[in-house]
Structure 1
Amino acid sequence: MSQPVSSRSAAVEPARHRLVDVPGGRIHLVEQGTGPMVLMVHGFPESWYSWRHQLPVIAEAGCHAVAIDVRGYGRSSKPAEVDAYRMLAHVADNVAVVKALGAETAVIVGHDWGSPIAANSALLRPDVFTAVGLLSVPYAPRGGQRPTEAFAQFGGPEEFYISYFQEPGRAEAEIEPDVRSWIAGFYTALSGGVKPPAGGGLPFVAEGGRLSDGFPDGPLPSWLTEADLDFYAGEFEHTGLTGPLNRYRNVDRDWEDLAAWDGEPIGQPALFIGGEHDGPTQWMADAIKAFPTTLPRLVSSHILEGCGHWVQQERTKEVNALLVDWLRSLPAGPGQR
């Protein structure tokens, strides 16, 4: 970080919305506070709004807190081409956001798909991203098997959800007729303490079925209000889901693009926060065990008991405290990492 994080809370101005130019168009962001930059990158199917509880806390800790709408989401640009959503494009967006806001470096924090986007931003541009926080999805370096081939081996006769998302238009046809109900079910299904329906549940799709067949019945999880759901639904009813789903449709392109970084560790100070009941915590247990090799400067790793996938929304106070403590632990000198 370019300067120390304050150990005292300070009054900060309200959050501000801004559009900034990037090579692929424009990125919408919400920012709050001043100081060293902390760039927050959301996952699927979310928006900058998933960081609503972190923005003021990180700002009060003495940072310039910035949460973006990833390309394809919200008010950010939505290129039509599937390959416009490859990992290299997301990394370029993040670098351009840092520069557009007048900074040279930033700490980057990501959740869900935002976690590998943050990890690869740190991996490819250590000159810009001086530390990396990973929420829900642990870092796993590029490996020897093409991703779609690996995913095709999951689930036996059932189809892994990432495989289900590969064909353009297929998942859109399920989701877009009733976006609000679909995302309500998806958020609920991946929340901590939610019992899956009889006969199965996420992340697999039965032959001829739909992903939503695995959504549970019942009320919204406690972390998600009707107003929150209205916000998310309004975003996707306006933009559709093709841009967000195109991220999944680039996993093989990413594998090809990142061949030069095969097996490469991330050398910057790192943080991991996962949920006990979250899928990636379980499927990627070997990746977490490998952190001493893949994240040699890992500061701390936390699995939140009883928590599901949406860690920074489900466990706001715990995650905020972990983030602020980690930020305060980082080197304060210019350009240090």
Structure 2
Amino acid sequence: MSQPAHSPSAQALDVRHRLVDVPGARIHLVEQGSGPLVLLVHGFPESWYSWRHQLPAIAAAGFRAVAIDVRGYGRSSKPRDVAAYRMLAHVADNVAVVRALGEETAVIVGHDWGSPIAANSALLRPDVFTAVGLLSVPYSPRNGFRPTDAFARIGGTGEFYVSYFQEPGRAEAEIEPDVRAWLAGFYAGLSADTMPPVGEGSLFFVPEGGMLSDHFVGDTLPAWLSEADLDVYAGEFERTGLTGALNRYRNVDRDWEDLAAWDGAPITQPSLFIGGELDASTTWMADAIAAYPTTLPGLVSSHILNGCGHWVQQERSDVVNQLLTDWLRRGIRPAVQTG
């Protein structure tokens, strides 16, 4: 693989590591800075480390930046029960983290799966989460369609990846024999500078009788991911396996049942959205973005980054840092001034 530009290793970051108690589990987190709390929630298949560029920037802007390992990831607890990864458990984790840090409220920001986790945290506990930032995956309220039924009807050549992830052990059998290589291919496949050309297959569909990795193209790392960064991610999943991470996907129907009382509900707190122009998570959900005046009436700003893929806060860290800190200053703590 080629050697991309250097980015900080986990050991080089000036952060504090902690384990805090949450209902039935413990959550590992890292923090930097002081001031109003900003809770950062990663997606699949990542860890707190995906926020390595945002932690110092948010801290320098006058906030207490905290990035968690979502349950099932990294050094956080990994319950065996699939139902332990339902959305309600993630919301409870986030509330408990805020309390364990001695705070009453927080701004919450999420990327990929962390985006709906952050959105539902704000939706269910507006008393705790006073503002919400969503990266890559737009907010889409619960609706009348059972998720697995909807996924089964999605067009495309092959099986939709969320359907592929449903059966325990199936995706693990693909990924875990060579975690590092699989992660490299997955990250590259959704990055603007290394994703396959249109027409060469999609990482969102598994060919009949095949694997998701059948669509991986080349062996070049994206520019945002150094060999050292990949080592950090691979090291965590080689130790923990992928089951905890994949169990989030295995709760989509359970979430739909749990959240019936919030069907169609808007999030009214101040909000922010940042997506990538080349990210299918953004383009496939264009209708959700168009509905923001209704679903996110407190939206402060929305941004689509030209030529950017899925991993927005890593692919365009400087731009995302500026957008996040501007939003925090303008919409959350107007009195903060830069030096």
TM-score computed with the length of structure 2 as normaliser: 0.93
* Alignment gaps of 5+ in structure 1: 1-12
Work out whether 1:281 is the aligned partner of 2:282.
yes
Q: Distance in 2 between matches of 1:115 and 1:38?
A: 14
Task: Report the residue type matching 1:174 in the other structure.
Answer: E
Q: Map Cα deviations across residues 146-189 of structure 1 (whole Å, 9 max, x no partner).
A: 00000111134511100100000000000000000000000000
How far does residue 330 in structure 1 lie from its aligned partner after superposition?
A: 2.0
Query: Secondary structure of the equivalent of 1:31?
Result: strand
| Contact 2:157 2:205 (C-alpha < 8 Å) held by counterparts | no
Q: Map Cα deviations across residues 186-225 of structure 1 (whole Å, 9 max, x no partner).
A: 0000001334276412111111010000111131000000
Change (3 A) 1:306 1:81: same
How far does residue 133 in structure 1 lie from its aligned partner after superposition?
A: 0.1
Q: Distance in 1 between matches of 2:284 and 2:108?
A: 24
Q: Distance in 2 between matches of 1:24 and 1:61?
A: 34
Tell me the residue number matched to 2:6: none
Q: Distance in 2 between matches of 1:223 and 1:183?
A: 14
Tell me the residue number matched to 2:185: 185
Tell me the residue number matched to 1:256: 257
Q: Map Cα deviations across residues 113-154 of structure 1 (whole Å, 9 max, x no partner).
A: 000000000000000000000000000000010000001111
* Alignment gaps of 5+ in structure 2: 1-12, 335-339
Same amino acid, percent of matched pairs: 78
Tell me the residue number matched to 1:150: 150
Task: Report the residue type matching 1:290 in the other structure.
Answer: A
How far does residue 280 in structure 1 lie from its aligned partner after superposition?
A: 1.1
How far does residue 332 in structure 1 lie from its aligned partner after superposition?
A: 4.2
Query: Secondary structure of the equivalent of 1:216?
Result: coil
Task: Report the residue type matching 2:62 in the other structure.
Answer: G
| Contact 2:41 2:48 (C-alpha < 8 Å) held by counterparts | yes
Task: Report the residue type matching 2:262 in the other structure.
Answer: W
Of stretches 151-160 and 248-257 in structure 1, the one that deviates more from structure 2 is 151-160
Q: Distance in 2 between matches of 1:256 and 1:173?
A: 29
Task: Report the residue type matching 2:79 in the other structure.
Answer: P
How far does residue 50 in structure 1 lie from its aligned partner after superposition?
A: 0.2
Tell me the residue number matched to 1:29: 29
Tell me the residue number matched to 2:240: 239
| Contact 2:146 2:253 (C-alpha < 8 Å) held by counterparts | yes
Q: Distance in 2 between matches of 1:138 and 1:312?
A: 15
Stretches of 4+ aligned residues off by more than 6 angstroms:
none
1:1-20 pair list within 5 angstroms: 14-20=14-20
| Contact 2:188 2:195 (C-alpha < 8 Å) held by counterparts | no
Q: Distance in 1 between matches of 2:156 and 2:275?
A: 26
Q: Distance in 2 between matches of 1:292 and 1:166?
A: 33
Q: Distance in 2 between matches of 1:310 and 1:233?
A: 17
Task: Report the residue type matching 2:329 in the other structure.
Answer: R
Aligned-residue Cα RMSD (Å) equals 1.2
Q: Distance in 2 between matches of 1:332 and 1:322?
A: 14
1:314-325 pair list within 5 angstroms: 314-325=315-326
Change (3 A) 1:88 1:195: closer
Q: Distance in 2 between matches of 1:27 and 1:156?
A: 38
Task: Report the residue type matching 2:107 in the other structure.
Answer: V
Q: Distance in 2 between matches of 1:253 and 1:217?
A: 37
Aligned pairs, number? 321
1:60-99 pair list within 5 angstroms: 60-99=60-99
1:54-133 pair list within 5 angstroms: 54-133=54-133
Q: Distance in 2 between matches of 1:78 and 1:332?
A: 35
Change (3 A) 1:157 1:54: closer
Tell me the residue number matched to 2:160: 160
Query: Secondary structure of the equivalent of 2:149?
Result: helix
Work out whether 1:307 is the aligned partner of 2:308.
yes
How far does residue 331 in structure 1 lie from its aligned partner after superposition?
A: 4.2
